[in-house]
Structure 1
Amino acid sequence: MLLELADVSKSYPTGEGILHVLRGVSLALDAGESLALTGESGSGKSTLLHLAGGLDRPDQGAIRFGGQDIARLGDRELASFRRVSVGLVFQQFNLIPSLDVGHNLAFQARLGGRHDADWTDRLAERLGLVKLLERYPEQLSGGQQQRVAIGRALAGRPQLILADEPTGNLDEATGDAVLDLMLALLAETGAALLMVTHSTRLAARLGRRLHLTAGRLT
């Protein structure tokens, strides 16, 4: 088992009291497995993803990665975990505007000390980015930017990819093509995928699907 969330809860204080976002959530994800997480807006999907990636800490419960409870790691250890073990793909792309495509692709891998020039070149070729390496994000289409974001996430060969509505800003045809590429590359690397999506159609293409309602999984 690569990732396990065991009885995880998370809440936030608001002006109207405590907002309970996740209520005793448990799930498991094996290496190489893909899991879609669906649910209405505000159901806690992104919060769950952030907890799984070590971007936030739970109020209670355990989040185990390779058997280690990352919720108990110190800030420095948690930052190292994020750099080395996790690749993040967001709906908003989050590319660095001052870096060209080539440097955006390598950015995360360099941070984690895992840059492999040959692998990055292969990613650029597989993602159709070879002729775009010297362009900047503002010179790319939405689909091209998302392919760069996927390449950046995979460049360090992480064990886990967390994707939050990765095709949400793309038209259906472009989104399908981007997901095709991501799934093919994940199969090649053996990384696991946890993807948040509103689309039941896209969710059906992953190995498993769980639905989040009012902070609980069904």
Structure 2
Amino acid sequence: MLRVEGVEKSYPGAEGPVPVLRGVDLALARGETLALTGESGSGKSTLLHLTGGLETPDAGRILIGDENVGTLSDRGRARLRRETVGVIFQQFNLIPSLDVASNIAFQARLAGRHDPERTRELAEGLGLSPHLAKYPEQLSGGQQQRVAIARALAARPALVLADEPTGNLDETTAETVLAAMLTLVRESGAALLMVTHSDRLASAMERRLHLEKGVIA
């Protein structure tokens, strides 16, 4: 489902380019879950953003199915995120003017895959059924993160990218939210790549890789 081959990425610095990724390779099969761990600044989020087409690599290839993400146009990368990739950010990025049901359905509508039954199933699986008519500001942090997860899964993506998806939650809530997310991801058959700093959360995944100074250690 996902192949990352020799990916490099640098950012401008006061004294020249600052390397963040120095030749990263990884592969993820359909239906597989993988945790990517590493210290702050190791390049975890950069790799996730490159995979989701939010940035482009300086070198190497990122293949999702048969598509090379780095060679797609802006429109092509946007299409990929609508139709194939679901992204869950640490910051929930919910739309304040939409209620929970509409936030969940938002991505699926963009992809032309809105299914009210799917929205209902996701809400039930994530404990959101009593809150569908509420607005984000009326929810707790844990509830908002569940809405963000449901939104990413509503369009039935083949690949889910999660960037510290429980980083704003206390440990108990984080484990509950992760368990619900993993259940729904596995039921859908999607592949999941999750960036996390938590050893406990990483241990819930089928595989684990560690990124250190821009390379897989």
Query: TM-score by structure 2 length?
Result: 0.98
Q: Map 1:1-218 to 2 at 5 A.
A: 2-218=1-217
Q: Deviations over 1:150-192 (max 9, x none)?
A: 1000000000110011111111110000000000001110011
Counting aligned pairs with the same residue, the percent is 65
SS class of match (1:57): coil
Residues in 1 aligned to 2:125 and 2:20: alpha-carbon distance in whole angstroms: 38
Q: Deviations over 1:70-118 (max 9, x none)?
A: 2111221111011111111111111111111011000111111111111
What letter corresponds to residue 47 of structure 2 in structure 1? L
Residues in 2 aligned to 1:65 and 1:117: alpha-carbon distance in whole angstroms: 28
Residues in 1 aligned to 2:107 and 2:145: alpha-carbon distance in whole angstroms: 15
Q: Deviations over 1:29-48 (max 9, x none)?
A: 00000000000000100000
Aligned structure 1 segments of 4 or more residues deviating by more than 4 angstroms = none
Unaligned regions of 5+ residues in structure 1, if any?
Answer: none
Residues in 2 aligned to 1:114 and 1:122: alpha-carbon distance in whole angstroms: 15
Residues in 2 aligned to 1:141 and 1:118: alpha-carbon distance in whole angstroms: 25
What letter corresponds to residue 98 of structure 1 in structure 2? S
Residues in 2 aligned to 1:186 and 1:150: alpha-carbon distance in whole angstroms: 10
Deviation of the 1:51 alpha carbon: 0.7
Residues in 1 aligned to 2:73 and 2:94: alpha-carbon distance in whole angstroms: 27
Deviates most, 156-165 or 122-131: 122-131
| Number of residues of Structure 1 aligned to a counterpart in Structure 2 | 217
Unaligned regions of 5+ residues in structure 2, if any?
Answer: none
RMSD (Å) for aligned C-alpha atoms: 0.8
Residues in 2 aligned to 1:13 and 1:112: alpha-carbon distance in whole angstroms: 35
